[in-house]
A = this chain, B = another copy of it.
Amino acid sequence: MLALTITATDGRARRGVLQTRAGAIDTPAFMPVGTQATVKSLTPAEVRETGAQLILNNAYHLYLRPGVELIEALGGLHRFQAWDGGILTDSGGYQIFSLSPLHRVTEEGLTFRSHLDGSEHFMTPEKAIAVEQRLGADILMSFDQPVPWGATRAQAMDATARTHRWAERGKRAWNPESGQALFGIVQGGFAADLRRESAETLVAMDFPGYAIGGLSVGEPKELMWAMLDVTTPALPVDRPRYLMGVGMPSDLVRGVALGVDLFDCVLPTRMGRNGTIFTWEGRLNLRNAQYERDAGPLDPACPCAVCRTFSRAYLRHQLKAGEILAIRSLTFHNLSFYQQLVARLRAEISAGTFTAWAEGFLAGYRA
């Protein structure tokens, strides 16, 4: 169903191939975010062209609109969005807590209001897994209760224990015969012992893979790395590890150095829409006047279709004129850059040069 083959290591960094029912994923991998069953502004063929093999869809958004029944009737998420690569769905726990006004937590589940029309809904761990399975994702996330930054230790313990009980209930509701893999989500807030205990508790339940949630939610970066540092050693080496919602290019490098295999983040797409691009020299804002007459590509070191076709001056004009072509182009380039970055990390791990390369990158990269 889901099998991770580690092909090379360098320190704690791992390179591997994750076999899913939708095909093989080279890891470390970066998943573009397709919240509403589209990676914003791109076609599936373009997402593939950037190098992505696995994308993320949000079960919460798709459950509310267009609804599970419709996507199921149209043949499931792959056929619906015409994407033949892998699909991972987030379960909606995080989205309900961050997007839904007036949500209420009970042991049974979460009552929440739609951010679209205010309609009331009730989601349980069992229903969340059923939604993800019916949507047709290849990798499913457990329904969890994230610990917000600033929570007390008692609150962190309470939410984490509920996350564990919900993971257990979701796992019982899960039908593994579908070939769809289920990940447990490590919580524990910002206490090392709670993080380690959360990982151990979930590992005892024997999930096909493990996500690390509740990080990059406002805490200092060093605290995030400290939490990751104690979490990955508690996870089995033969299962994929997914650091949720992270991050900037340097975060991917540090995450891989700490043993992470999978990442997702809205930053390359969202920042692209706002005019910020990533290059091998660092990031830059294309709105700046210095690029007004720049005849060069977004990144001279990038081989992507946008860099082969358009100048910075042209794309800056399109951006300032409010044209969709700028959004498409900057999104495509940024996702291409992220895929080039993880490909580079994989190559460095295979060559046994990752640790040294990562040190140089983290010392010099302006982003």
Contact = CB atoms under 8 A, between A and B. Distances in A.
B38 A295 contact: no
Contacts of A328: 41, 43, 324, 328
A77 to B, nearest CB: 10
A9 interface: no
A324 B42 CA distance: 8
Given A82-B309, A82-B310, A309-B82, A321 B36 contact: yes
B318 A38 contact: yes
B70 A293 contact: yes
Contacts of A73: 293, 295
Contacts of A80: 311, 313-314
Given A38-B318, A66-B317, A70-B293, A43 B82 contact: no
Contact of A74 (B45, B293, B323): B293
A243 interface: no
A322 to B, nearest CB: 9
A205 interface: no
| Residue of A45, A75, A293 ringed by the most chain B CB atoms within 10 A | A293
B314 A40 contact: no
26 contacts: A36-B318, A36-B321, A37-B314, A37-B318, A38-B321, A38-B325, A40-B325, A41-B323, A41-B324, A41-B325, A41-B328, A42-B325, A43-B328, A44-B309, A66-B292, A66-B313, A70-B292, A70-B293, A73-B293, A74-B311, A74-B313, A75-B295, A82-B309, A82-B314, A324-B324, A324-B328
